[in-house]
Every structure is written in structure tokens, then in C-alpha cells.
């Protein structure tokens, strides 16, 4: 018998209906009070347990919601809704295996329960098990053929598997079912972005934003498309607005700042850099590793940034190589890249690929990018023994392909950069996995065994900042192609917009590498060297305008900052380097392939050794070129030596003569010698593996000239 005032039977049902009505009206405190009153009388009341669980979940207290739903399941295990709600709470708590089991119980109780099939797929998608997720979404669509959310989510899974045509079809079906859903327009636009149908992607995102103007994710995505189109000012506007609305979106802060650097907008740079560094130090996904190289930091912070990125975006996945021993007459090396085309990585490596010892090594190239009908792309394809286009294959499929070919050493030439595919090696595709050349830092991933470097870019006492073991090459880690053509005809200065007379300082780096501190030095040099100019590469128009204004603010006529037009021919670009007198390196992100370009073209380069790998590459190249006297250790020394060289024509001429004399005999441009060193590194790591020893740092001994 109930005590006076306690609900019972029909009274409890009436109270539950009343509470649900209040709940639906948004009067949550009153609804909660009624739910709790019902439960005070009957702690196992399934309806009250479930509805109170829903309410606490809406409030964000998923732990309490999970407890309530678990009690509801215990009270009535036959109710598919109780299992479904329990699964939702577990999913919110990222208890994925338990959530999948709960949704499975909902499906077992009600086989045509489409939302439960959908959420089973969502659990698998969260775990990056996209192929399995698709089977669940198929079941959801079979149970409910007009289920727009199921089509949309299946489209996301197809997209992750690089099955873009199927992804686009599903997103279009979702839109046909519910054209007023902003998220569906945005999802379709994201696939169009990956298909490089950029204008259509922008149109889709415009429709999404028309329906939901304050959606920061949509703004961020549109910024990403605009960035691809090099419309950096428009991209920054979207990033900036998105950052105002939701500064916590993963990588938005870093993409915004990187775009700002591309536009040479240095307003509030110190404060924004400090905030970004604080977020990296705290382990937040604030910036992608490559963008972080462009701001003042340390090897430890750069490693933290890479580690956060790798753990969040490309965690270890089910392995395809499981310890099998390969026995080959030759070591099989696979190079993985999207840059086997007219790209700095291809210019640097073409000679190495051609010089590989085919009696000891069998080389493969796996390409992520569309084929180009250019001489450089053709040269790369012919230099590698097997060249395979894997654009349309998923990361798992590519990993399995590497396993089928029994690749001994997989070399990632990109690291965490644009168009890279770190997810392939996350599947442990080969016994040895190596990071090389395309990224000047650690991958942050435990499944990358080695990083190829040298003792200038990474000091021995800095190894602890790298998740990989280091293979130290003896001269420099960067390859150079001694067959790289330079156009015989050097243009006259007037053709390039340069004055007929006067000293030409140049820095052909990307605009994101320009920083206020080095620009201050460059402007002081222009003020002190009469008639001198600074020659930079053409950038986004707003960036060029800003640099001229920055020059004016430092007392220099903006017309003395001259921008080089873009040329289609790399050989012609190299030939015009001869018009420059001195190449000035940047900091904290220094010259890499551009430094190699300058030295190959015969232009002395001046650098200030940085604190990180990315800031020391030019120093490494200068040492290998036999010109260590152009490596300085402070901005003061850098500025003083630049001024000396600009005013002492004989000393500068001596440096140019030395570079010209030694160009074909120095270690930097001895491609065959470099290749033997690289192969010795591969051989040493493979020999360790063959005898069962774990990866360990390796110092490759210096070999005699191979020219």
C-alpha cells in the first residue's frame, strides 16, 4: 500500500505524461521534479528512468544519463528504445564497444529499427572502421528507404574510403529527401572539394550558409576551398569569422594564422603566436604540424604538435604486416607521395631515383595525385621500376598493396602535409617505415621507425624530441639533382622588373616564411646599401601590397620591393637567379628547396642557423656546398655579414667564383655520392631488422666521391 502523496499505477502514468509535456515545452526543472517523484516511489519505473536519462543527457551529464538508461535496460530488457538510448549515452562517453553492443541489442529486439542500425554505423565510423560502418548504414536504408541521415552518413564513410562517386551519390540522395538541411549541402560540398570541383563546392557551402549563417564549421570548410583556390584573402575572412564564432574547432586557429602569414598580415602576430603556442603546449588540436613550423617555437613544441595531430587524425590502425620475414634478393623500397610531378620534391629526388643501385634495390613509387603530362613527371615515372597510381584506393587498400608487394621499406616523402596519406602507414604496411624530405620534423607517430636527417638539422641531444630513430647522413639529408637543367639564356634585369644597376638581395621563399624580425633586417640593409632592391616571389596581391606598406613604414620606398612574376618553366626560373647578388634566408622557417635552387644557380646564400630542423636546412646545404662561412649564428651576425657582402664586391665575387668552381665537385651536388649514403642508411636499418634488432639511430659513414 502506498504512503499518502506517493504516485501509483494510473497516477504514475498520468504524472509521466504531464512530465513529458513539460519536458517537451522546455520546462526542464519542473519535468525533472516530476520524473524524480515517480522514481522515488518506483525506482525501477522504465518510462521515468528513460525520460530522466534523456533530460540529463540534454543537459550534458552523460555519465548520469548512462546510469539511468542502464537502470531502464535492467528494468525492461525487451524495450529496444531503452537499449537505443543507453547506446547514445555510451557513444557520447566514447565507450564505443559498449555503445555498439547496446545498439546491437536494440536491433535484436527490433530488426527494422533504422536509427539503431544508423548509430551502430556511427560507432564504427568513430573508430575509423568505415567499410564495416557502410554495412550498418545499408541496413538502416533497407529498413527505412527514405532515411536521409543514413544516406548522408554512408556518404561520409564512402568519402573516407575515397569512393567519391558513391559518396556524392549518397549526399545527393540525402539532399533530394531533405533539401532544407544545411548539413546535407555542406556534406555534398566537402566531397566536391575532394573531387577538386571547387566552384561547385563553393556553391554548396553558400547554400548551407544561407540556411545556417552562423555555422562556424561551414565557414571553415568554405575557407578551406578558397585556400585551395589560392584566394587567401577570402579564405582568411571565412576563417576569421569562424574563429569568432567557435575558436575551438580543430586546426582552425592554426589555419587562420597560417593564411594570415601568407597574406603578410603581421597585426597582433606576437599575441596570436603566443596563444597558439599555449594551445599546442596544452595538447589541443589548434594547428597542423606544417603550419606550426612557420611560427617561433622549439623542437619539443613541434614534436608535441605532431604527436597531437598523429594521435587524433591517424592513430595506429589494424596492421597488414604482422611480423612476417621477407627474403628477397633486393631490398624493396616504396616511395609514397603526391609530389611526383612539377614539384620541389620531384626536382630534388629525380637524380636519386635514377642513381639507385638496381642490383641491390627494387624501387616502387605510389602516387596520390593526378598524373601530369610534364617532362619532370615522366622522368620520375621512368626512374622508378614500378609506378602505381593509388589515388582512388583507401588507406587500407594501399597498405594491403604494399604488403602484397612485400615492400621492405616504405618511405613517406610527405609527412603531415597537404595531400599526404599518413593513414597508409598507420596500418603498419611494411616492416620498416621511414619519414623523409617532405616535412622538416617528427611525424609524432609511433609507427614511423626512422627519420632521415643530418647532424646539422638535428643535434644528437635533440633526438628525444623525435618519435622516430634518426638516420644521420654524413653531408646533408637533402638530395640534389646534378642533371637539373638551367636555361642557357639569362634574362636582362629590365625583363624581370629589376633596376639596370644596384645590388639585388633576393629571397624566393613562400610568403608565409617572411617574418617581421627578418623583414626589419632586410629593410635596414636596403636603407644602408644605396640603390639596392629586395626581390621576392609574386604572392597574393594583398600580401604584396602589405609588404610594400611595411617597407614604407620602415623608411624604404615600397617600389624597392620587387616581385618576380611566375614562370611556367623551372629551368627559366633557375636562370633568372643569376640576376641576384645575394640570397637572404628566412627565419624561423628557412629556405629548403629554394636554397638548393640558389646554390645550383650560382648565387651565394646567407643564413642564420635556427633553433629547429626547419630553420637549419640552409645551414646543412651550405656546409655540403663547402661554404660554411655563410652560416651565421645570430641575427646580428647575419645582418652584419649581409652588409659586408653588399659593400665588398671583391669578397662577394670571390664567393661566387668559389661556388661556380666547386659546383660540380662539392658534396651537395654529387648525386651519386648522396645516393650511396642514402642506400647505406637503408641497408643499415634493414640489416638491424633482419637480425631482429629494434630500430636505433644510425650514423652513415662518409663515402668517397661517386662521381
Among 3.40.50.1970, 3.40.50.970, 3.40.50.11380, 1.10.3720.10, name the CATH number for the domain at 331-473. Answer: 3.40.50.11380
CB neighbour burial string for 648-677, b if at least 16 within 10 angstroms, e if fewer = eeeebeebbebbeeebeebbbbbbbbbbbb
d(CA 475, CA 596): 14
Residue 233 has pLDDT above 50, yes or no: yes
pLDDT, position 225: 98
Neighbours of 562 (CB within 10 A): 18
Residue 307 has pLDDT above 80, yes or no: yes
Neighbours of 283 (CB within 10 A): 13
CB-CB contact of 266 with 235 (8 Å): no
User: In the chain, count of helices (H) and strands (E)?
Assistant: 30, 14
3 state DSSP class of 585? coil
DSSP string across 236-305: HHHHHHHHHH-TTSTTHHHHHHHHHHHTT--TTHHHHHHHHHHHHHTT---S-HHHHTTSS--HHHHHHH
pLDDT, position 15: 85
Cα dist from 128 to 125, 382, 383, 557, whole Å? 5, 36, 36, 55
Residue 2 has pLDDT above 50, yes or no: no
Band of the pLDDT at 209, cuts 50, 70, 90?
Answer: very high
Among 3.40.50.1820, 3.40.718.10, 3.40.50.2000, 3.40.50.1100, name the CATH number for the domain at 493-669. Answer: 3.40.50.2000
H or E element that contains 35: helix 28-41
d(CA 18, CA 21): 5
**Residues belonging to the chain:** 707
Residue 704 has pLDDT above 80, yes or no: no
CB-CB contact of 340 with 361 (8 Å): no
Is it true that the peptide bond before 588 is cis, omega within 30 degrees of 0? yes
Residue 11 has pLDDT above 90, yes or no: no
3 state DSSP class of 536? strand
* Topology match between the domains 331-473 and 493-669: yes
Residue 276 has pLDDT above 70, yes or no: yes
Which among 276, 282, 279, 283 has a CA at the least distance from the CA of 312?
283
d(CA 502, CA 533): 7
Mean pLDDT of 528-544: 96
Neighbours of 697 (CB within 10 A): 16
Residue 407 has pLDDT above 60, yes or no: yes
Which among 611, 704, 616, 595 has a CA at the least distance from the CA of 659?
595
pLDDT, position 371: 81
Query: Any idea which of 36-50, 116-130, 432-446, 649-663 has the lowest mean pLDDT?
Result: 36-50
pLDDT, position 8: 55
Beta bridge partners of 583: 506, 605
Please give the share of the chain, as a percent, with pLDDT higher than 90.
Answer: 88
Residue 298 has pLDDT above 80, yes or no: yes
3 state DSSP class of 607? strand
pLDDT, position 370: 86
pLDDT, position 7: 56
Mean pLDDT of 600-619: 98
Residue 166 has pLDDT above 90, yes or no: yes
pLDDT, position 316: 95
pLDDT, position 1: 34
Mean pLDDT of 208-234: 98
Mean pLDDT of 562-580: 96
Mean pLDDT of 230-259: 98
CB-CB contact of 329 with 436 (8 Å): no
Task: Taking the CA atoms of 265, 270, 276 and 277 in sequence, report the sign of the dihedral they define.
Answer: positive
* pLDDT one-digit tens code per residue, 32-77: 898 898 888 888 888 889 898 899 989 899 999 899 989 988 888 8
d(CA 6, CA 369): 70
H or E element that contains 199: helix 198-211
pLDDT, position 31: 87
Residue 79 has pLDDT above 50, yes or no: yes
Mean pLDDT of 303-310: 98
Neighbours of 357 (CB within 10 A): 12
d(CA 659, CA 672): 19
pLDDT, position 705: 56
Band of the pLDDT at 707, cuts 50, 70, 90?
Answer: very low
What residue spans define the domains of the chain?
A: 331-473, 493-669
pLDDT, position 460: 86
Max Cα distance, the chain (Å): 110
The residues near 154 (Cβ < 8 Å, ≥ 6 apart) are: 121, 133, 134, 137, 138, 141, 170
Supply the mean pLDDT for the chain.
95
H or E element that contains 52: helix 46-58
Beta bridge partners of 409: 333, 432
Mean pLDDT of 251-272: 98
Residue 323 burial by Cβ neighbours in a 10 Å radius (0-12, 13-18, 19+): exposed
Cα dist from 362 to 135, 334, 677, whole Å? 39, 8, 17
Mean pLDDT of 377-406: 96
Mean pLDDT of 236-260: 98
Query: Any idea which of 36-45, 246-255, 375-384, 595-604 has the lowest mean pLDDT?
Result: 36-45
Amino acid at each position: 500500500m502506498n504512503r499518502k502523496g506517493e504516485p501509483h499505477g494510473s497516477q504514475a502514468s498520468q504524472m509521466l505524461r504531464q512530465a513529458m509535456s513539460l519536458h517537451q515545452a522546455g520546462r526542464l526543472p519542473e519535468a525533472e521534479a516530476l520524473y524524480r517523484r515517480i522514481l522515488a516511489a518506483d525506482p525501477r519505473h522504465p518510462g521515468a528512468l528513460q525520460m530522466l536519462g534523456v533530460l540529463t543527457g540534454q543537459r550534458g551529464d552523460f555519465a548520469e544519463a548512462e546510469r539511468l538508461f542502464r537502470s531502464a535496460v535492467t528494468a525492461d530488457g525487451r524495450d529496444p528504445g531503452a537499449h537505443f538510448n543507453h547506446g547514445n549515452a555510451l557513444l557520447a562517453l566514447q565507450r564505443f564497444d559498449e555503445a555498439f553492443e547496446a545498439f546491437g541489442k536494440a536491433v535484436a529486439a527490433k530488426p527494422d529499427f533504422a536509427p539503431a542500425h544508423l548509430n551502430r554505423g556511427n560507432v564504427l565510423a568513430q573508430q575509423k572502421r568505415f567499410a564495416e560502418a557502410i554495412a550498418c548504414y545499408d541496413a538502416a536504408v533497407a529498413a527505412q528507404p527514405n532515411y536521409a541521415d543514413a544516406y548522408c552518413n554512408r556518404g561520409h564513410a564512402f568519402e573516407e574510403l575515397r569512393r567519391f562517386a558513391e559518396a556524392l551519390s549518397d549526399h545527393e540522395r540525402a539532399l533530394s529527401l531533405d533539401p532544407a538541411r544545411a548539413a546535407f549541402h555542406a556534406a555534398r560540398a566537402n566531397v566536391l572539394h575532394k573531387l577538386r570541383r571547387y566552384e561547385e563546392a563553393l556553391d554548396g557551402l553558400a547554400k548551407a550558409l544561407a540556411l545556417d549563417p552562423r555555422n562556424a564549421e561551414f565557414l571553415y570548410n568554405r575557407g578551406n576551398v578558397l585556400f585551395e583556390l589560392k584566394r587567401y584573402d577570402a579564405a582568411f575572412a571565412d576563417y576569421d569569422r569562424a574563429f569568432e564564432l567557435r575558436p575551438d574547432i580543430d586546426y582552425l586557429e592554426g589555419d587562420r594564422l597560417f593564411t594570415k602569414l601568407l597574406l603578410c598580415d603581421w597585426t597582433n602576430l606576437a599575441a596570436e603566436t603566443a596563444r597558439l603556442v599555449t594551445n599546442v603546449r596544452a595538447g589541443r588540436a589548434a594547428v597542423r604540424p606544417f603550419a606550426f613550423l612557420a611560427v617561433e617555437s622549439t623542437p619539443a613544441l613541434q614534436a608535441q604538435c605532431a604527436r597531437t595531430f598523429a594521435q587524433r587524425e591517424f592513430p595506429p590502425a589494424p596492421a597488414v604486416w604482422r611480423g612476417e620475414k621477407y627474403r628477397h634478393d633486393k631490398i624493396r623500397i616504396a616511395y609514397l607521395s603526391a609530389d611526383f610531378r612539377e614539384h620541389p620534391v620531384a626536382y630534388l629526388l629525380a637524380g636519386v631515383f635514377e642513381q639507385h643501385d638496381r642490383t641491390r634495390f627494387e624501387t616502387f613509387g605510389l602516387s596520390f595525385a593526378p598524373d601530369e603530362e610534364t617532362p619532370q613527371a615522366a622522368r620520375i615515372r621512368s626512374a622508378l621500376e614500378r609506378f602505381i597510381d593509388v589515388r582512388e584506393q583507401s588507406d587500407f587498400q594501399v597498405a594491403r598493396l604494399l604488403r602484397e608487394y612485400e615492400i621492405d621499406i616504405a618511405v613517406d616523402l610527405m609527412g603531415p602535409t597537404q595531400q599526404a596519406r599518413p593513414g597508409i602507414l598507420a596500418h603498419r604496411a611494411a616492416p620498416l617505415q621511414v619519414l623523409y624530405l617532405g616535412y622538416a620534423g617528427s611525424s609524432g607517430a609511433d609507427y614511423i621507425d626512422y627519420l632521415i636527417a643530418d647532424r646539422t638539422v638535428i643535434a644528437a641531444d635533440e633526438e628525444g624530441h623525435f618519435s622516430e630513430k634518426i638516420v644521420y647522413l654524413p653531408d646533408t639529408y637533402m638530395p640534389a639533382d646534378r642533371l637539373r637543367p638551367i636555361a642557357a639564356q639569362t634574362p636582362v634585369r629590365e625583363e624581370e622588373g629589376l633596376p639596370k644597376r644596384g645590388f639585388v638581395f633576393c629571397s624566393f621563399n613562400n610568403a608565409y616564411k617572411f617574418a617581421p624580425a627578418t623583414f626589419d633586417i632586410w629593410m635596414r640593409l636596403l636603407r644602408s646599401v644605396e640603390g639596392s632592391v629586395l626581390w621576392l616571389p609574386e604572392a597574393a596581391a594583398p600580401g604584396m601590397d602589405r609588404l610594400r606598406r611595411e617597407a614604407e613604414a620602415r623608411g624604404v620606398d615600397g617600389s624597392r620591393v620587387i616581385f618576380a612574376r611566375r614562370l611556367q618553366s623551372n629551368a627559366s626560373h633557375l636562370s633568372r637567379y643569376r640576376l641576384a647578388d645575394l640570397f637572404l634566408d628566412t627565419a624561423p622557417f628557412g629556405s629548403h628547396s629554394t636554397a638548393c635552387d640558389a646554390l645550383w644557380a650560382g648565387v651565394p646564400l646567407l643564413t642564420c642557423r635556427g633553433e629547429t630542423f626547419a630553420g637549419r636546412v640552409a645551414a646543412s646545404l651550405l656546409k655540403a656546398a663547402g661554404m660554411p662561412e655563410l652560416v651565421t649564428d645570430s641575427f646580428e651576425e647575419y645582418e652584419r655579414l649581409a652588409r659586408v657582402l653588399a659593400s665588398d664586391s671583391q669578397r662577394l665575387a670571390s664567393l661566387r667564383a668559389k661556388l661556380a668552381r666547386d659546383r660540380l665537385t662539392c658534396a651537395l651536388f654529387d648525386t651519386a655520392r648522396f645516393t650511396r649514403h642514402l642506400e647505406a642508411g637503408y641497408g643499415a636499418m634493414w640489416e638491424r631488422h633482419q637480425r631482429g634488432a629494434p630500430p636505433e639511430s644510425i650514423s652513415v659513414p662518409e663515402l668517397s666521391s661517386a662521381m
